[in-house]
Structure formats: structure tokens, C-alpha cells
Amino acid sequence: MLQLKRSGEFLRQALKVQLALKGHPMRHRSSQFGYGRQIGRRLLVASLLLVTCRVALSQADGVAFPRATPGFTPKKLYQVDSSKAWKAAIDAINLNGLAIANANRDANQISTAGKAGPSEGGGVFVGKLVTQYRYVITFVAVSPKATQINVTPILEARRLAAGLGKALSGNNAVSDVNWIDATGDNPHDAEQLRNWMYEQIEQSLSQ
């Protein structure tokens, strides 16, 4: 089950509204009432974004996070030079349809762009929860013929605006703030994502 804790974001949204209210010059009744309605809408939209949510990762929306073969244990240290390890990682990323956001050979680091994971929900009062995952992969040349590969998965989530929130805001593009790092709240899924990428790299190395 994916967990995403959102109480902190609600407090940030509410603080923004509070600061805006403090700084607003309400000089006559019409502007006061109009601004009050605006603040009310913003508070309601912000409250709709407050969730502590769990999503079944099986096949929500027909998409699931990739998982390694049961019982697979990554080696992490490979008896190959860093160039071969680098190529194996690049091949594994490309073969599995992940986009490379940055590949810095001098820094021995590859970062992938996010790929969509499972999503769930969506309606009048609760917006749709969407997820994505990405990787940072680094390489350490232990010796001329041995390379350590470090795979770091990053699992992210955000909740889109609910139908009511969209209507009140007048903006169909309204959504939660930027992607929230949910890796720490989902250690089991993060470990599965890590092992899966190691397995893909090892398969590339064996070819």
C-alpha cells in the first residue's frame, strides 16, 4: 500500500491564504465581500488537498510498479570495468522504456525522468492520486575490473484537484503542489523498485 502524508502541505497552503488576507487592503464592503468569497474558495480548495492516502499497488488503473523476480538478491558489486557497467545500466533503462534525464559520465551518475506508476481515485470531493518513479544510479570503480553500482529509487506522488475544487477555483488545471517524495513512507515498494532495476542491469551484463 502506498502512503502519502499531506498534512504539512495543507498547513503551507493555509499559511499562504492567511498571509494574503493580512496584506489585503479591504477599503469598502464590496471588495471585502468579494475577497472573502475568494479566500473561502481558496481555503476549501486547500482543504480538499489535505489527505493521508493509501493506494493499492496491484493493478490500479492497469499500471503497477515493476518488481524483481521473487527471491532475487542484487550483487551490487560486479566484476566488470566501469564502462561496461555504465553501458549495461543505459541499456537496461532504454529497454524498459525509461527516459534518461541526465547522464554524466564524468560524475559517474545517471538520472532518469519519472515514469507513471499506479493511480487511484478521483471524484467530486477527493482528487485522483497519481504516482511516478525514477532512479539515480551511480558507479564506483573499486578496481580496474570491479565496479560497484548504487541504485537509488525515488517514488513520488501527488493528488490532483477534486471535481469540486476545480469548479470552485475556476481552473481545471488546479492540482496539488509539485511531486511529493513518498519514498520514505513506502520502504517496501522502494526496495522492490531498487531490486527490479538491479535485476535489469544484471540481465544486461549477462548478455
Q: Is residue 153 pLDDT above 60, yes or no?
A: yes
The answer to whether 49 and 178 have CB atoms below 8 angstroms apart is: no
The predicted-structure confidence for 14-66, as pLDDT tens digits, reads as follows: 334 333 333 444 344 444 445 455 555 554 444 444 443 344 433 455 688 99
pLDDT, averaged across the chain: 76
Q: How many Å apart are CA 149 and CA 147, to the nearest integer?
A: 6
Number of domains, the chain: 1
The answer to whether 133 and 65 have CB atoms below 8 angstroms apart is: yes
Which among 87, 126, 123, 124 has a CA at the least distance from the CA of 205? 87
Which among 112, 111, 108, 110 has a CA at the least distance from the CA of 139? 108
Q: How far is CA 79 from the centre of its chain?
A: 33
The predicted-structure confidence for 114-142, as pLDDT tens digits, reads as follows: 999 998 776 655 677 889 999 999 999 99
The answer to whether 17 and 45 have CB atoms below 8 angstroms apart is: no
Other Cβ atoms within 10 Å of 117 Cβ, number: 23
Q: How many Å apart are CA 34 and CA 198, to the nearest integer?
A: 57
Q: Which residue has the higher pLDDT, 43 or 178?
A: 178
Give the residue-averaged pLDDT of 192-203: 98
Q: How many Å apart are CA 194 and CA 102, to the nearest integer?
A: 19
pTM: 0.69
Name the residue range of residue 81's domain: 2-205
Residue 63's pLDDT is 81
